[in-house]
Amino acid sequence: MQNYTNYKVIIIDDASIDGTTEEYIKYFKIHKIDKSKYTLLSNLERAYALANQYFGTLYGCSKDSINMVVDADD
């Protein structure tokens, strides 16, 4: 079992049409997940992977962060 607590998750919905943002919101509510470790960014227009990584890092990470990218579309 993992006990590491020094993390932050940035979820980026790149203007998908499959209801991603709504599903995340519903999931967090149903499972009563503490949102303090999570940031949800929802694009109004598609920005694609590189721009999403850039803005997610710029607005969601501190200078001493280690970043990992997981693309759910893969």
pLDDT, tens digit, for every residue of 54-65?
Answer: 999 998 888 888
CB neighbourhood size of 1 (10 A): 2
Report the alpha-carbon distance of residue 55 to residue 34 in Å, rounded.
23
DSSP classification of residue 35? G
Report the alpha-carbon distance of residue 17 to residue 53 in Å, rounded.
20
Quick one: tokens of 73?
A: 């579309």
Q: What ranges in the chain are assigned the alpha helix state H?
A: 20-30, 48-60
Farthest-apart Cα atoms in the chain, separation: 39
**Average pLDDT score over the chain:** 88
Q: What percent of the chain has pLDDT over 90?
A: 43
**Between 50 and 74, whose confidence is greater?**
50
Which residue ranges make up each domain of the chain? 9-60
